[in-house]
Amino acid sequence: SSCHGAGRRLSRTAAKASVDSELLISELEQKGIHIRAKTPNVLSEEAPEAYKDVDEVISLTNRAGLARPVARMRPVSVIKG
């Protein structure tokens, strides 16, 4: 196994400053992703654009000989807290 995620492209502070939480919720709802949060303003920290492209990271990891992809997982639910 290798790293569990692609890694951040934006710091939490930068993501909060550049991502509108209400717009993010609307965009994700349009994709069928439903979000419930006690404080919606912190959702911008976890916006998709705050993270690196996972396909690029997997490709680089594979080319570097660190790991090879064997399956692509699709999250069904995520609970943070």
Token code pair at residue 62? 């594979």
> What pLDDT does residue 1 have?
62
Residue 4 has pLDDT above 90, yes or no: no
pLDDT tens, position by position, 22-75: 999 999 999 999 988 888 888 999 899 999 998 999 999 999 999 999 998 888
- Total Cβ atoms within 10 A of residue 48: 14
DSSP class of residue 65 equals: T
Residues labelled as active-site residues = 4
**Nearest 10 degrees: CA dihedral of 46, 47, 50, 51?**
80
